[in-house]
Structure 1
Amino acid sequence: MTSWSPVLPETVWSKVASVLRRELGEGPYNSYVAPSSVKPGPYGDPVLVTPTAYARDWISRNAIRRAQELWTQHDPDARILDVKSRVEYDDQARAAGQTVETKPADLRAQDLRTMSAIPVDATADRSAHRAPIQMPSPAIQSASVPTTAQLTGRITGLQERLTFDTFVPGRGNEFAYTMSRQVASWADGHFNPVFFHGPYGYGKTHLLNAIGWEAQQRRPDARIVYLTAEKFTSTFVKALMDKSTAAFKDEIRGADLLLVDDVHFIGGKTSSQEELFHTLTALMENNRRIVFTADRPPAQLSEIEARLRSHLSSGLVCALDVADQSLRIGIIERKLTQLSQKLGIAGQNPRADVMQFLAERVPGSIRELEGAVNTLVPSAGPRLGSLTLEEAMALLQPN
């Protein structure tokens, strides 16, 4: 890349960044601006290089115009401040035959956290030097890295019905429920990563989705990615085939909260395990939050390599146990209320012996318990309240 002009950009950027920090607030500044750094562009203009495409998009929408105004006030050369993701900047450098730096030698905005704010002379008139703000066109921005919206459509997908409001806490899952609420609240002092484990149908996926919904409501600007381990693997393999792994890494590692369901399915897939290991390392180093689920605790995932198991067990490992009788009754009541309202038969509650039968019929999986209720209520219809135990048993008999 072209070398700098005699006017040091570090001096200009320190002033720009200090104002952005005050105006944007600590949260957005630390999330998007602080991890970014200023580097020389191909024609000597400065480029704000962000660690991810998501950070680039956020800065382009929310901060670049103000940053350009501030830059022009302090740069006699009136250079244009561009913004690119790390992948874009490195690709451009390689195309120009330049050596890509492995260690940033420039001034990063996060260095300002330990520096006193540098006052900006708001009355300075440099209109003679002011150049028009040039925003990168959408076509150029999306040429090498998919947009956030494109990635979201490809690998994320929270289920709308799986929220904390529809989750029934009880003795078998109370601690997992409490920790899930803490993660979703973005509270400080969290364990990282959080690992929930339990057999099929015990509520792990429900909690993972609930965390995602609640966290998004509390921080609408946060990047939250939910995917199964199978989806992680298939998307990564496709990226390998398409030679787009840089874009894949850029987006996944740009998550503020990563939710990975059924991580045990990554066992035996060497390249996917390695990618997940490096993803987990990168996210933890940047204090991003990660939650996993599996059917067993990390120590028992023998099909997963040791170093990844070690990472998975380095935070909080929490079991979801068998639902006791009172919890199963609570789940049945919640499900009955939802279905009765949907079918227009509200108030038709089953007799006590029918409720007892349902709770005892499926002592383990909550999903199977809900399936029994899903079968019984539509089958009984308006007769649900008067249904005898024998009739309920007959309706639930497999065909």
Structure 2
Amino acid sequence: MPQELDAAPEAWSRVCAALQSQLGHDAFQNWIEPLVFVGCEHGALQLTAPTSFIGTWVSRNYGDTIRQLFCKNGIAVSRIEFGVAPAGAPRPAAVRVVSPEPRPAALAPEVDLPASPLDGRCTFDNFVVGKPNELAHAAARRVAEGVIEGGSVTFNPLFLYGGVGLGKTHLMHAIAWEVRQQNPEARVLYLSAEQFMYRFVSALRFKEMHGFKEMFRSVDMLMVDDVQFISGKDSTQEEFFHTFNALIEQQKQIVISADRAPGEIDGMEERIRSRLQWGLVVDLHPTDYELRLGILQAKAEAQLEKNPGVTIGAGVMEFLAHRISSNVRVLEGALNRLFAYASLVGQPIDLDMTQECLADILRASERKVTIDEILRKVADHYNLRMSDLLSARRARQVARPRQVAMFLAKTLTSRSLPDIGRRFGGRDHTTVIHAVRKIEELRATDSQIAEDVELLRRMLEA
């Protein structure tokens, strides 16, 4: 077998990592992530794309870059051949992206956002507010005002949590931008929990713990994104705990984000969970139809200013807001792709073109509900914690909602019974069968259960 056949899959993984770094999250997600590596032989790189348009766009705009990156990885690619995945065909498992090893971060004396650059689009002015996120938006604005004025801390910490693409990172960037613009003297440090860990490990390795502590404890506001990343990492949690306490004692602001509530982050020390709940904990709920439509209209206006020759037909925005409900990033990526296609081929954006251009996204969006979403909605409805539903507790006030959640997981997702059982605290599939049958019986005899199940189903499918 030629050497290039052995090395090509790993090379493609590294090329993807480099492209993700060069192109940025949005462009990578829109154009590179949908591609599937097939093979590389005799100088021909073979990929499949969801649509012929995506393959053509990648070839024209990124073909040279991809060939150069393969060359850097020791494989000569003279041409790229794109096939189109048949409609409805199962997508092969994604190639794992091998990111380059993180370099030890220099512990620079300045603390003005040294780790993570801010996205200039993520400001308060560009944040579309609706019922699912209005509390989080108001709290973020209040925190920014407090840091700008240098007065007493209102909520400390501010803890924002929710699923992917609901606006957590946007609000954190917006807080940092507002503070930087209104009070340039304020010392603000924004970074991900992963970067916090890398800086900590680097400080230990190079015996720079004094500089590390000085950097993190001399700021006016510390912002840590995706704090769930440090769960299970004891040494990093220990340093985070001491940093947290030091800043609280100095009346300095802390803003934290995660994908779940503090009490639901497995592997997080109890003392840290407790401190994360000291201030204000805000859940960013999944977007509703009205909010998605508002976001689309705002983004479309900005796109139309940059592409004055493009027109949008009636019903397109409403169609997208209805069909793509997973998260805002997917929604924005779909709109960006439509404008790119329209400007490339010189056609108006109508419903037919939308369905053709976004065929892969629309197929993926048909499965709207996940077990995590079901657990969250059921827990909220019955005023429980997600951890209660996953626990071994058998009290009726916990067991019945757990059975409702299992019933919804069976009827609204394509997960198998064993998969559902494992997701519900490692239970056997027979427990799921019993729960489904029990709720089916109760729906016919208990009007309250029937009403609860119907309400939750509508909320999850909205």
**TM-score when scaled to structure 2?**
0.52
Partner secondary structure for residue 398 of structure 1: helix
TM-superposed CA distance for 1:201, in Å, is 0.7
Per the alignment, do residues 211 and 183 of structure 1 end up closer, same or farther by CA in structure 2, a change over 3 Å counting?
same
Partner secondary structure for residue 266 of structure 2: coil
**Higher helix proportion (structure 1 or 2):** 2
Per the alignment, do residues 383 and 175 of structure 1 end up closer, same or farther by CA in structure 2, a change over 3 Å counting?
farther
Residues 381-390 or 239-248, more deviating: 381-390
Per the alignment, do residues 171 and 272 of structure 1 end up closer, same or farther by CA in structure 2, a change over 3 Å counting?
same
For residues 116 and 343 of structure 2, what CA distance do their matches in structure 1 show?
36
Per the alignment, do residues 189 and 256 of structure 1 end up closer, same or farther by CA in structure 2, a change over 3 Å counting?
closer
TM-superposed CA distance for 1:368, in Å, is 0.9
| 1:381 and 2:339 matched | no
| 1:209 and 2:182 matched | no
TM-superposed CA distance for 1:387, in Å, is 3.0
TM-superposed CA distance for 1:322, in Å, is 1.1
Give 1:343's aligned residue: 307
For residues 289 and 315 of structure 1, what CA distance do their matches in structure 2 show?
10
Give 2:450's aligned residue: none
| 1:174 and 2:134 matched | yes
TM-superposed CA distance for 1:166, in Å, is 1.2
TM-superposed CA distance for 1:212, in Å, is 0.4
TM-superposed CA distance for 1:344, in Å, is 4.0
Aligned AA (1:331): I
For residues 325 and 311 of structure 1, what CA distance do their matches in structure 2 show?
35
**Cα deviation digits, residues 240-280 of structure 1 (max 9, x gap):** 10100110110111110111100001111111111111000
Give 1:226's aligned residue: 190
For residues 299 and 336 of structure 2, what CA distance do their matches in structure 1 show?
8
Partner secondary structure for residue 148 of structure 1: coil
Q: CA RMSD in A?
A: 2.1
Give 1:148's aligned residue: 109
Give 2:65's aligned residue: none
Task: Identify which of 294, 315, 322 aligns with 2:286.
Answer: 322
Aligned AA (1:329): L
Contact 2:153–2:252 (CA under 8 A) maintained in structure 1: no
Aligned length: 252
For residues 345 and 297 of structure 2, what CA distance do their matches in structure 1 show?
17
Partner secondary structure for residue 196 of structure 1: strand
For residues 298 and 350 of structure 2, what CA distance do their matches in structure 1 show?
21
**Matching of residues 255-334 of structure 1 within 5 Å:** 255-334=219-298
**Matching of residues 386-397 of structure 1 within 5 Å:** 386-397=348-359
TM-superposed CA distance for 1:382, in Å, is 8.3
TM-superposed CA distance for 1:357, in Å, is 1.2
Task: Identify which of 362, 365, 370 aligns with 2:324.
Answer: 362
Aligned AA (2:202): K
Give 2:121's aligned residue: 161
TM-superposed CA distance for 1:146, in Å, is 5.4
Residues 218-227 or 156-165, more deviating: 156-165
Give 2:95's aligned residue: none
Contact 1:223–1:256 (CA under 8 A) maintained in structure 2: yes
For residues 352 and 188 of structure 1, what CA distance do their matches in structure 2 show?
50
Partner secondary structure for residue 340 of structure 1: helix
Aligned AA (2:305): Q
Residues 376-385 or 162-171, more deviating: 376-385
For residues 340 and 350 of structure 2, what CA distance do their matches in structure 1 show?
15
For residues 109 and 269 of structure 2, what CA distance do their matches in structure 1 show?
31
Give 1:104's aligned residue: none
Residues 381-390 or 271-280, more deviating: 381-390
Give 2:215's aligned residue: 251
TM-superposed CA distance for 1:326, in Å, is 1.3
For residues 157 and 314 of structure 2, what CA distance do their matches in structure 1 show?
43
TM-superposed CA distance for 1:320, in Å, is 0.3
**TM-score when scaled to structure 1?**
0.60
For residues 200 and 268 of structure 2, what CA distance do their matches in structure 1 show?
17
Contact 2:222–2:254 (CA under 8 A) maintained in structure 1: yes
TM-superposed CA distance for 1:349, in Å, is 4.6
Give 1:184's aligned residue: 144
**Cα deviation digits, residues 315-339 of structure 1 (max 9, x gap):** 1000001111111111111111222
**Cα deviation digits, residues 227-246 of structure 1 (max 9, x gap):** 00000001110111010011
For residues 125 and 355 of structure 2, what CA distance do their matches in structure 1 show?
30
For residues 109 and 185 of structure 2, what CA distance do their matches in structure 1 show?
12
Contact 1:264–1:301 (CA under 8 A) maintained in structure 2: yes
Overall identity of the aligned pairs, in %: 42
Q: Which of 1 and 2 has greater Rg?
A: 1
For residues 382 and 234 of structure 1, what CA distance do their matches in structure 2 show?
42
Partner secondary structure for residue 304 of structure 1: coil
Contact 2:180–2:186 (CA under 8 A) maintained in structure 1: yes
**Cα deviation digits, residues 147-170 of structure 1 (max 9, x gap):** 533x54742422222111111111
Per the alignment, do residues 335 and 344 of structure 1 end up closer, same or farther by CA in structure 2, a change over 3 Å counting?
same
Give 1:198's aligned residue: 162
Aligned AA (2:337): T
Per the alignment, do residues 284 and 349 of structure 1 end up closer, same or farther by CA in structure 2, a change over 3 Å counting?
farther
Partner secondary structure for residue 360 of structure 2: coil
For residues 349 and 172 of structure 1, what CA distance do their matches in structure 2 show?
30
Partner secondary structure for residue 257 of structure 2: strand
Contact 1:156–1:227 (CA under 8 A) maintained in structure 2: yes
